[in-house]
Every structure is written in structure tokens, then in C-alpha cells.
Chains A and B, each alone.
Chain A
Amino acid sequence: MEYKDYYKIMGVKRDATQDEIRRAYRKLARKYHPDVSKEADAEAKFKELGEANEVLKDPEKRAAYDQLGSQWKAGQEFRPPPDWQGGFEFRDFGGGDFGGRPGAGDFSDFFESLFGGAGRRAAGARTARDFRMRGEDHHARVVIGLEDSYTGASRSITLQMPEVDSQGRARARPRTLNVRIPKGIRQGQQIRLSGQGGAGFGGGEAGDLYLDVEFDPQGRYRVEGSDVYVDLPVAPWEAALGATVQVPTPAGAVDLKIPPHSQAGKKLRLKGRGIPARQPGDLYVVLQIVLPPADSEKHRRAYEEMKKAFAFNPRAGQKT
């Protein structure tokens, strides 16, 4: 397994005070918290940070970690020293529950080898013989393209499912599910998969898995409810004189007639071409007039001709 440099992850020196560690953790936690962060790898970073904090914030664990010495480098192949005291008594600790992965079994092998699964036995330990409990519901986020909502799609998602082994130790086990994304799904809707959540205790039924569906915000479309918006760049003469142009839609390109005398920002509605449903949404094409650059003598002359022909003041209606 790989050695983890918790000090480096936290961005503090090895002799940092507990106060400095706390401060460093808070700052980084705000930066990488998956609920607030825009960083691409926020979830992995936050998990790593949580593990580093788990060790460094606790003087006992930190002292144990320091015993390994400072000669190790992050990523270096690591084995715990033979005289390593595996039996530290550590208090309970919790973890994040992102991506349908509730706290338990959330730390690296490196962490496990040093501190074991101690404290995370809670879930298994309280299982008395005649005690039945329904498993926990898990939640996971699924990002889909808008096109997927038009056609329906299958997504394979990998979740870290916590498991309690025969020694009562919690471990994360990756589990891959293939899930059907139904046609017509909208942003913010959830899909419930019965019995795919946490295992029940003492013969209790398993919890459910909820998938929170979100559209990939990087796409060219904007979505409001079941209505979809797309910007369409047009030339000034197309807007002024009318034209028929190709417009991309999530269901494929269509020909659209732009009426003469159209202004920038005009919305053209394609009825029923929004997100499909019993009452399908509409697709709005928003015109964006793009001016050709006056980058040659010929083009400059054309603009000069326009100026003469129109005597046009676009600010005529504005107060000064």
C-alpha cells in the first residue's frame, strides 16, 4: 500500500500546532467540500483531507503516525513496522456520506493498517440476536446529458458500499449498478431503487438507493422545468430579411424559419420539443445576432453603405 503524507495533504509543517492544523483543515474543507466546491476532483480531495484530519487532529493518533518517522514520501510503498502496536484504543470517528457512501469503511488501506477499523464497529456491534432494523437509505448523484432525457439511457454507476465483515470491521466495497434512466426525466428528479441501499440488521429489509439526477451543466442547452433553451447565432441579414437555418436540438438538428424583422434576443418556440413527457416542454431558440468583423476595405465599405442607407440611431429611445 502507499504511504500517505498527512502533513502534505493538510499543507502544514510536521511541527504545526493543533491550532494550525485545525485552521488548515477548515480552510481546505471549505474549498473542497463537495456541496460547495467547483473543483473537479473535490470529492476525492475532501475524502483525503478528512482522513488526514482524522489523524492529525487527535494528539494520540498523530503521535502514533509521527512514530513512523519523517523519511517516508507520499506514494511510497509502505508496510507497517513489525513492532507496530495495532491495538490502539481509538474513539469513534465518522466520515463523509457522499456518493451513497455513508461514513464507515471510508478510509485508505494505509489508514486501516495503522489504526484498524476500531471505532467503526458500532454498526455491527450493536446487532443483538433479536434486534431487527431496516437498512439505511443511500443517496447518490448521477449526472446525465440532456440528450439522455430525450431518449432514455442506461448508466453504470459505481458506489462504495460499506460492509461489516465477520470481525465486525467496516470495509468499503465497490459495487457497480447498471441503471435505466427513464425518458423524460427532469433536473432534480430522483430515481428510487428499492432494496439497493444499506443492508438491514438482524433480518431487517435493506434500505433503498436514491439517485439524484442532474443535467451536465456544461452542455449548450439551458433547462427550466421541462422547457429547454438554446442560443442560435445568426447574421444581421438573416435576422432582418428572414432565413431558414439549421438549429441543434437534443433530439437532432431541425430546420427553423427565422421570420424577417427579428431582433437579438427574440425567442422562437418549437412547441413540444422540450423534455418529453405526457405534457412535453417546449424548446426555445434564442437569437443572437453576430456582426461580421469590418476587417477589410470591402467589408468596411459595406458598413459605410449601411450607415448612409439607414440614418439609424439605436439609442434614439434612450434618455441621456
Chain B
Amino acid sequence: MAESDTLRGQLIEEETVITLEDLCRHCTVQVEEVVTMVREGLIDPADGRPGAESVGHWRFHISSVRRVRTAVRLQRDLGVNLPGAALALELLDRIAELQRRN
């Protein structure tokens, strides 16, 4: 394939911070679902203010997109509830960490 056919994307750094609306759009979820996930401790707002009074100002690290999407899939496909999905995510993180270290 010719070089001209090659797509060049925009690189998104891990430090990138997105708004609540962006997160909802990327993950196709409603604001309420994100609020529940923050309450469950599945994701944390980037500025460390998980209190409900600041929902409108919430910002999230781009890594939250993957966590939310995985949690949505686990709930939908495996029939686990949100705390169950949160537990699975934490265990998956731990496995990844162990594999990195071995």
C-alpha cells in the first residue's frame, strides 16, 4: 500500500484529561451510570473530588474510558453487577501488574 494511504492519527497521552460529557460519549453511557461508577470507586475523577456536589466539574483521565467500557461489557456479557465488575477490574489490574514484574 502506498505511503499516502497510511492514516496518521493524533496521539493521545495517558495524562490527557477529558470531561464527563466526553467520557459518556466515548463509552456510550449516561451521566448517571458514570456517577454510580465513581461512587463504587471504579473510576476516580482526575481532580480527586468524587463528591456528588461537583459532578458538573468532573474531569477524567483518558484511562477511565477503558475501565468504563470494560465494566459495561462485563455487566452486559457476564451478568455481574457493578461491584462484581469493579472487583474483576481490580483483579485484572493485579494480574497485569504481576505479569509486568515477573
A residues neighboring B (CB under 8 Å): 26, 29-30, 33, 35-36, 46, 50, 94, 96-97, 136-137, 139, 154, 156, 177-180, 182, 185-186, 188-194, 196, 210-212, 217, 222-224
How many residues does chain B have at the interface if contact means C-beta atoms less than 8 Å apart?
Answer: 31
Q: Whole-angstrom distance between the alpha carbons of A164 and B12 in the complex?
A: 30
Q: A136-B28, A210-B26, A224-B100 are in contact. Are A180 and B77 (CB under 8 A)?
A: no
B99 A193 Cβ-Cβ under 8 A: no
A193 B9 Cβ-Cβ under 8 A: yes
Contact residues in A for B28 (Cβ distance below 8 Å)? 136
Q: Lowest 5 A-B CB distances belong to which pairs? A: A191-B9, A190-B12, A193-B9, A192-B10, A178-B6
Q: Whole-angstrom distance between the alpha carbons of A179 and B7 in the complex?
A: 5
Q: Whole-angstrom distance between the alpha carbons of A33 and B89 in the complex?
A: 13
Q: Whole-angstrom distance between the alpha carbons of A300 and B28 in the complex?
A: 68
Residue interface bits B24-46, CB-to-A below 8 A is 1, else 0: 01101000000000000000000
Dominant secondary structure of chain A at its interface with chain B:
mixed
7 contacts between A and B (CB under 8 A): A137-B26, A139-B26, A179-B8, A182-B8, A189-B11, A190-B11, A210-B65
A191 B6 Cβ-Cβ under 8 A: no
Chain A residue with minimal CB distance to B12? A190
A217 B14 Cβ-Cβ under 8 A: no
Contact partner, A193, options B7, B25, B76, B100, Cβ 8 Å = B7
Q: A33-B77, A35-B73 are in contact. Are A191 and B14 (CB under 8 A)?
A: no
